[in-house]
Structure 1
Amino acid sequence: MTGGEAPQESARGAHPRRYLFALIDAGGTVPPELGVVRRLVDRGHSVTVLAGESIADQVQSTGADFLPRASAPSGVFRDWGLSPLGLARAMADHMMIGPAPAQAIDTVAAIDSLQPDLVVASAFAVGAMVAAEARGIPFDLLVPNVYPFPAEGMPPFGAGLTPSHGPLGRTRDRVFSAAGVRLFDRYALAGTNALRAEYGLTPVTTAWDQMRRAQRHLLLTSRSFDFPGRLPANARYVGPILDDPGWAAGESWGPPAGDDPLVLVAMSSTFQNHVGSMQRIVDAMGMRPVRGLVTTGPAVRPDDIAAAPNVTVVESAPHQEVLRDADVVITHGGHGTVIKALAAGVPLIVLSHGRDQADNAVRVTTRGAGIALSRRASAPRIARALDDVLDTPSYGEAAKRLGADVAREASGSALFEELERRL
């Protein structure tokens, strides 16, 4: 299986392999990426993870070897409230091009020492991609999300749009996609090609072409959840990873007393200036006869939230266990929370804050599995949305229908087909 609990089994006839994972700590991407690591370790493979010290404990809990990066991005990625221009520059500086030279040095050293069969990199780990290509080692990209790169028939990433229809819709997508490529290249192309030249590689035409050089894009999501599009031949839907984050491991949980509907609130595990939104959600639950459970994650202190009498605020709880009893999930729309809620058949209220979250929200609402609100929605507006979801059976029914497909894909073997048999 690829979702839920990691399998305790050998590699089913596959020869033990040596994998080098080069990962970026991007918050919600870490649990699914380390879920892949854990599964390969459990199947008898040799796995080393090259990453920053911020996730050292989580890496070591998988049983893999941890190799610290000599340098890694530091500080908070302050992406909230940025214009598209500012966001593109911030992503390039903080996540992609800024860290790439040091990451390439670290990855080359790890490749030379370990001689891996495959390098598996986070989707924006440009330095690791360049290092693998320079050393002639195949590399795969982990994409714990819907498909993010430009593709025919797929709405532009980050815009929260539904699929296009007809000539005008296709024109919309071409215009948006071309503008996105130009904007991305403005801050990422020169740095990518400078690094490629340093390692004796030919330049790429666009920064996205660096990602296209991967052997495979391993999409850690459900094909049924994503919108259909004509993806490149190296893109593979391998099913979502439903693991809870390492910092929530070992937490005990029991449902609050009473019979009122249970509402789980799970916002971003990295800071997105979302304390005010979270407080309004808590205030909304205080207006209704529900049992609220708010998990703040490591980005917000529970004491920062003034809890209503019917709401419990904690730093973390095992979401997989909570979701067995939950009636509604209220979230910022991160892929991990959304996909786990659907796999449990629980409808959602999504207040997207940026990044990929509007894309996840529109995939929920298009399927009738929840409601999307502005992150600035007032407490009364959130309360009314909560009434709608609880009082309208179709939301729960749609979540269960979509969730059945999500759960089936999470328990499939596509991940191992790609990482073992097709290596």
Structure 2
Amino acid sequence: MTRVIITAIGSAGDVHPLLGIGAALAARGHEIVFCSHAPFADAATRQRFEFVPIGTAADYATAMANPALWHPRTSFRTLWAVIAPTLRPHFHTLAELTRDDTVLVGTLWAFSARLMQEMYRVPLVSVQVSPSTLLSAHAPPTHPRLTIPHRLPLGVKAALLRLIERHALDKVCGPALNALRTQLGLAPATRIFGEWLHSTDGVLCLFPEWFAQPQPDWPAPRLMSGFPLFNDTTAHAPDPQLDAFIAAGERPVVFTAGSTLIDHARYTAAVRAALKESGLRGILLTPDAPPAEARAGQDDTQSVLLKRRYVPLQTLLPRCRALVHHGGIGTAALAYAAGIPQIVTPFAHDQFDNAQRVVASGCGLRLDAPVQAPALARALDHVLDSPSIALQCGHMQDQLAASPEGCDAAARYIEGFMQSGTRPQDVPRTRAPAFADSGQSA
């Protein structure tokens, strides 16, 4: 048995894939310690992981409810303002949890895990949930404000990317990160997102090559594991009303904005109007849906739109015609696995890049926010009536079914670092020694 400490920072789309990878490692007999935001405690403990919270549930709820987190102009700075105060306590926590048989696994924002690797040579697998943060001059990511045109010469694209790194990324993250590095006796880091955050041991990319073609300037060594098709279904109660609704007519369309902060009343109105115009039925996953106890005795089989707070997409999508979603890569992956077309309505973060990749795969359309009923109705008609989209969705479904399961492939890759003989040296067992040289204490 090896202890694997997984740090998953972000929204559900960042955390759930790591739960699936942790479950695959646990099934192989390894001890899993899951470090994430407090609201994910139940999901982790259902997998029988030891759970260590990062921050409080109240802090996380406040951050997710901040409109600035979901605006392309302010999202990066807002997210960093939430993460920066956790760097030092999270580093201390990892130091206390680490044993001489530990392997660290961390998502994009797990800077403290990268510091543990750098300070104490603890084996680290850094995880890229989506390709947008692999900053490549050969294939620059799509962003509403900072997209570099692909048609430019490579040298120009590389120079522009360095400017973005220096003036938009390092400028925001550098001060807090490098202040901590100074306390640890480390030199300042530059090109934080382009180079530093990637583990020097190995990078795990949780998507297949057909979704994001590997580029010459991506970090190495790396593995592209394929999509980790994990959707936690263990806590979901049976829903006979939902089953009756699906069975009562033509297969419905599913709508979800994920954890994105939106005007849910306006979004619902647009969805309802688009369904009426297209003559379709839909299921809307939204936090303002009525709770289960308020639905007792209702007959929704004649409704155009059924609202639910949560339904596991892995079980729902194969029963539906199409998916309209925010652009989370885990959501897109489950639509690919179900073989259904997608309409992606990106709002912030990696959603724009993911949307473009869905379009490039031939499996859907991109429809930028705000969602308007006429445009949504036209998009639905297009994706549902297109023979080429239907053919390509079936092809991608077959390709995924024939590929190794992403969680298992990722688990095997992580196991390789357990067998390498690389072990951490002189990891402090208490908090204070990590800052002893600078006179700091926790």
TM-score (structure 2 length as normaliser): 0.82
Map 1:185-196 onto structure 2 (within 5 A).
185-196=170-181
The residue aligned with 1:39 is 24
CA shift, 1:277, in A, is 2.9
Q: Which of the pair has the greater relative contact order for Cα pairs under 8 Å at 6+ separation?
A: 2
2:378 partner SS: helix
State the alpha-carbon separation in 1 of the partners of residues 391 and 141 from structure 2: 29
The residue aligned with 1:417 is 412
Q: Equivalent of 2:354, from 360, 379, 382?
A: 360
Q: Equivalent of 1:127, from 112, 131, 142?
A: 112
Q: Equivalent of 1:348, from 335, 338, 342?
A: 342
2:143 partner SS: coil
The residue aligned with 1:11 is none
CA shift, 1:160, in A, is 9.4
List alignment gaps of at least 5 residues for structure 2. 292-299, 419-442
Which sits farther off after the overlay, 371-380 or 124-133?
A: 124-133
Amino acid at match of 1:200: G
CA shift, 1:168, in A, is 4.1
State the alpha-carbon separation in 2 of the partners of residues 333 and 361 from structure 1: 6
| Gap change, CA 1:204 and 1:80, over 3 Å in 2 | closer
Amino acid at match of 2:318: R
CA shift, 1:157, in A, is 5.3
Residues 289-323 of structure 1, C-alpha deviation per residue, up to 9 Å, x if partnerless? Answer: 22211112xxx22159xx99311001111211222
Amino acid at match of 2:79: M
1:287 partner SS: helix
Amino acid at match of 2:209: R
Map 1:33-72 onto structure 2 (within 5 A).
33-69=18-54
State the alpha-carbon separation in 1 of the partners of residues 334 and 206 from structure 2: 12
CA shift, 1:173, in A, is 5.9
Which sits farther off after the overlay, 101-110 or 138-147?
A: 138-147
2:304 counterpart of 1:310:
yes
Map 1:137-176 onto structure 2 (within 5 A).
137-156=122-141, 158-159=143-144, 167-168=152-153, 171-172=156-157, 174-176=159-161
> Would you say the 8 A contact 1:239–1:411 is kept in 2?
yes
State the alpha-carbon separation in 2 of the partners of residues 188 and 119 from structure 1: 22
Aligned residue pairs, count: 399
The residue aligned with 2:374 is 380
The residue aligned with 1:258 is 248
Would you tell me which structure has more helix in proportion to its own residues? 2
Which sits farther off after the overlay, 220-229 or 387-396?
A: 220-229
State the alpha-carbon separation in 2 of the partners of residues 129 and 309 from structure 1: 51
| Gap change, CA 1:92 and 1:224, over 3 Å in 2 | same
2:258 counterpart of 1:282:
no
2:359 partner SS: helix
The residue aligned with 2:439 is none
State the alpha-carbon separation in 2 of the partners of residues 349 and 310 from structure 1: 19
> Would you say the 8 A contact 1:156–1:177 is kept in 2?
no
1:323 partner SS: helix
Which sits farther off after the overlay, 128-137 or 366-375?
A: 128-137
The residue aligned with 1:210 is 196
List alignment gaps of at least 5 residues for structure 1. 1-15
Amino acid at match of 1:221: F
> Would you say the 8 A contact 1:352–1:374 is kept in 2?
yes
2:303 partner SS: coil
Residues 339-388 of structure 1, C-alpha deviation per residue, up to 9 Å, x if partnerless? Answer: 11012111111111111111111111122211111212321221111111
> Would you say the 8 A contact 1:346–1:396 is kept in 2?
yes
Residues 250-295 of structure 1, C-alpha deviation per residue, up to 9 Å, x if partnerless? Answer: 4545252333242111221353555533431232113232221111
1:28 partner SS: helix
2:311 counterpart of 1:323:
no
The residue aligned with 2:427 is none
Amino acid at match of 1:238: S
2:230 counterpart of 1:235:
no
TM-score (structure 1 length as normaliser): 0.85
> Would you say the 8 A contact 1:222–1:410 is kept in 2?
no
State the alpha-carbon separation in 2 of the partners of residues 184 and 247 from structure 1: 39
> Would you say the 8 A contact 2:63–2:82 is kept in 1?
no
> Would you say the 8 A contact 1:156–1:173 is kept in 2?
no
State the alpha-carbon separation in 2 of the partners of residues 410 and 315 from structure 1: 32
2:20 partner SS: helix
Amino acid at match of 2:274: A
CA shift, 1:56, in A, is 0.9
State the alpha-carbon separation in 2 of the partners of residues 368 and 162 from structure 1: 21
State the alpha-carbon separation in 2 of the partners of residues 132 and 405 from structure 1: 36
> Would you say the 8 A contact 1:147–1:226 is kept in 2?
no
CA shift, 1:120, in A, is 0.9
Bigger radius of gyration? 2
CA shift, 1:145, in A, is 1.6
> Would you say the 8 A contact 1:107–1:132 is kept in 2?
no
Amino acid at match of 2:82: H
Amino acid at match of 1:92: W
CA shift, 1:194, in A, is 1.3
CA shift, 1:69, in A, is 4.1
State the alpha-carbon separation in 2 of the partners of residues 181 and 154 from structure 1: 19
1:224 partner SS: coil
The residue aligned with 2:283 is 293
